[in-house]
Structure 1
Amino acid sequence: MTTTVALRGNTYAYLRGGGHLWVYLNWARGLQRSGCEVLWLEVVPGADDVTARNLRHLRTLLTDYGLGDSLVVATFSGAPLRGSGLPEEGVLDGVDLLLDLAYDTPEHLVRKCRRSALVDIDPGLTQCWWADGLVSPVDHDFYFTTGEGVGGRHSRVPDCGVEWVHVTPVVDTESWATSPLADDGAPFTTITHWEGDEWFCHGGASFDNSKRAGFAPYLELPARTAAPLELALPLESVYDGENLLAAGWRLRDSWEVARTPTAYQSYIRSSRGEFSCAKPSTVHLRNAWVSDRTLCYLSSGRPVIVQDTGPSSYLPEGEGFLRFRSPTEAARRLEAVITDYDRHSARARQLATEVFDAKKVLSSVLERTLS
């Protein structure tokens, strides 16, 4: 008998970014490859023209990945959403499992499903938000976190009174098949937000938690390496772009290179690898966070050089996935990859298939939640 899983997405209002959609696509595709029937659940405030247009666009995007008929829409209040043309919350009755990748799913939707699992994809931040009353998830049967440093006696992250089970973030390695590097001069890239009013305040700590703040100690890095470095940023809101260019960074518009899931995938595959700093909160909380974007690079056979976010039992330190703690170490990691690129590329793909493959990871999640 086929297992039916409802995956709570959070994408209908954020469709300019193909990378954001891939967060959920990787989970949905992994569920499909595990033999599940997938319902892609979006919860909206109510009916208006913008919401209806976004839902139609989302359905078109999902159709390209065999998920167009999976889209289900519900409202936070439980009121019917007339005129959407999409299945509504009644189809959730008796669903085997809700995988909740959001933190505001209403209780009436959670209770429709036989079992439910909250999946924390913002490890450390989720727990701090919860402890500080910024989010209030309803009770679930299981709680999973993608942060290896969440939970345990020495964790800097509050447990919020629940048992967190670590699960790695996932990538659909079949959708993200490895591809040869077409240009030996291709840059190391990343796609990210930059500025904003993100501020981390918890446990007496308070600091700017933007990617701009995370990159600040590394702005002079291009002068310390022969590797070309490129940032894909929302240039319409970046006010220090001239300073970045003067420091040797290449810049691309993230709204252009990641405007659709396909464009996002093409940009990553055109890169030599990823170089990225983390948000300051992940370094502060030591949560062993790994970006879902980083996994897409790995699966494509692109080595990654990313900032250290805490001790890990499974992340390698020197092949395919290299972590740094200072500008000097970052420059050394980049040179190491350039010197032996083929070995690092092969190891990147191997790591994706052995550790982060969506089908493997989600098979274990299903076994734990449904047995």
Structure 2
Amino acid sequence: MLAIVTGLIGSYPLGGMTFHYIQYLLGLQALGWKVVYLEDTGRWLYDPCRPTFTNDPRYAVSYLERTMTHFGLGDSWCFRDPGDRWHGPVAGNLGEILPRVDLFLNVSGSCWLRPEYRSARKLVYIDTDPGYTHFKLAQATGDGADADLRYSFERMAEHDFHATFAENIEADDCSLPAGPFRWIPTRQPIVLDLWRLQPPTRPVRFSTILSWNHYAEPLQHGDTVFWRGWGLRSAASVTSSPQEYQRYIASSGAEFSVAKDVYTITRSGWFSERTACYLASGRPAVVQNIGFTKYLPQGSGLHAFCDPDEAVDAIRSVQANFEHECREAKRIAERHFDAATVLTNLLTALRL
């Protein structure tokens, strides 16, 4: 069986984005699939060294070469840059590969679904950012939709199956528009062998990795920036490679994080792929409850909060029982995010 997995590894060459997509490839490979990574977005590329978006593919190609080789996939990738030039070892024979593809996983809807890609036996759209996708679909299928919205809908409708990280979709307490597709709930697959349980160390230092928008001026002391009690580090320094990303998580005591309004208001049941990586590293998480507690255990290892008081109580619990919390975090990852289980469930739903 042959699978093509799409993604944004070259478009956003950062450690967290890499793990988001690479674990689909490695997870399918472990299940016996032959895999190819294909990236073809038609968009400009983020260059973290500048930092800006550019049509220059040199950094993206170099990052892909290093990263795919590191994960044992050095012969199994191709990349189409904004100038329509192909890169990577598979690019030269992609035309021979495409007619033999059993599964085309369009993760994050990241791939420009060109006609030649549609020959795959199963075309699958995986929505990893629920809310934005579903409200766009509701607009696209409503009265007065403009040409761009209709085009987006038509491209999505070309897929045979549609999966989403909104595990709570169609539930009574979820306000996401469910139509017009039949959504298959899924979650981030975690390749557990990549994430070793790191010995816990005190004091417990909470961290997270995301874009913070703030409304007050941060304070700077030496090389460290502080904002409302948080020390802020440049994202480039902790996400410049998959290895740096893992080291940063492993050096943390636990994760504390909030979610976007679109996740919380809709009660989508989305669960962050970043938080799943914290858990897999044996790092407990205190995160905002957006409906995932119906599908994942909470308590030791994973704490969901709805207000500041609950968050404080959860942080204190992690601090008081840290070693136990670390072991439970790892167990949650093993039981609920193991790529073998997550992907087998998805393949079953796809009738593969």
TM-score range, shorter chain: 0.7 to 0.9
**CA pair 70-83 structure 1, distance change in 2 beyond 3 A:** closer
The offset of 1:23, in angstroms, is 0.5
Question: What secondary structure does 1:50 align onto?
Answer: coil
Contact 2:79 2:86 in 1 (8 A): no
The offset of 1:152, in angstroms, is 4.2
Q: Does 2:120 align with 1:113?
A: yes
Letter in structure 1 aligned against 2:169: V
Q: Does 2:218 align with 1:241?
A: yes
Residue aligning to 1:221: none
Residue aligning to 1:131: 138
Residue aligning to 1:222: none
The equivalences for 1:40-51 within 5 A come to 40-45=37-42, 50-51=56-57
**CA pair 70-246 structure 1, distance change in 2 beyond 3 A:** closer
TM-score w.r.t. length of structure 2: 0.84
Contact 1:287 1:310 in 2 (8 A): yes
Worse overlay, 293-302 or 143-152: 143-152
Residue aligning to 1:13: 11
Which of residues 159, 173, 185 is equivalent to 1:140? Answer: 159
Counterparts of 1:300 and 1:355, CA distance in 2: 14
Contact 2:287 2:304 in 1 (8 A): yes
Counterparts of 1:311 and 1:158, CA distance in 2: 18
Counterparts of 1:10 and 1:82, CA distance in 2: 15
Question: What secondary structure does 1:98 align onto?
Answer: strand
Residue aligning to 2:50: none
The equivalences for 1:218-237 within 5 A come to none
Q: Does 2:200 align with 1:176?
A: no
RMSD: 2.5
Residue aligning to 2:47: none
The offset of 1:129, in angstroms, is 2.5
Contact 2:138 2:179 in 1 (8 A): yes
Worse overlay, 343-352 or 154-163: 154-163
Counterparts of 1:143 and 1:108, CA distance in 2: 19
Counterparts of 1:252 and 1:75, CA distance in 2: 30
Contact 1:171 1:295 in 2 (8 A): yes
**Paired residues, number:** 324
**CA pair 346-143 structure 1, distance change in 2 beyond 3 A:** same
Counterparts of 2:16 and 2:105, CA distance in 1: 20
Structure 2: gaps spanning 5 or more residues: 45-53, 141-148
The offset of 1:293, in angstroms, is 0.3
Provide Cα deviations, 1:128-175, integer angstroms capped at 9, x if missing partner.
133234543242111111111223455311123110111122211110
The offset of 1:18, in angstroms, is 0.9
Residue aligning to 1:199: none
Residue aligning to 1:349: 330
Contact 2:77 2:88 in 1 (8 A): no
The equivalences for 1:143-222 within 5 A come to 143-152=162-171, 154-181=173-200, 183-195=201-213, 212=214
Counterparts of 1:246 and 1:13, CA distance in 2: 30
Residue aligning to 2:255: 274
Counterparts of 2:169 and 2:102, CA distance in 1: 27
Letter in structure 2 aligned against 1:87: A
Q: Does 2:108 align with 1:102?
A: yes
Letter in structure 1 aligned against 2:193: E
The offset of 1:324, in angstroms, is 0.7
Q: Does 2:54 align with 1:57?
A: no
**CA pair 4-329 structure 1, distance change in 2 beyond 3 A:** same
The equivalences for 1:254-333 within 5 A come to 254-310=235-291, 312-333=293-314
**CA pair 153-37 structure 1, distance change in 2 beyond 3 A:** same
**CA pair 4-83 structure 1, distance change in 2 beyond 3 A:** closer
Deviating above 6 A after TM superposition, structure 1's stretches of 4 or more consecutive aligned residues are: 46-49
Residue aligning to 1:202: none
Contact 1:46 1:81 in 2 (8 A): no
**CA pair 311-271 structure 1, distance change in 2 beyond 3 A:** closer
Contact 1:149 1:311 in 2 (8 A): yes
Which of residues 317, 342, 346 is equivalent to 1:361? Answer: 342
Structure 1: gaps spanning 5 or more residues: 196-211, 217-238
Q: Does 2:340 align with 1:334?
A: no
Contact 1:11 1:21 in 2 (8 A): yes
Contact 2:209 2:235 in 1 (8 A): yes
Question: What secondary structure does 1:73 align onto?
Answer: strand
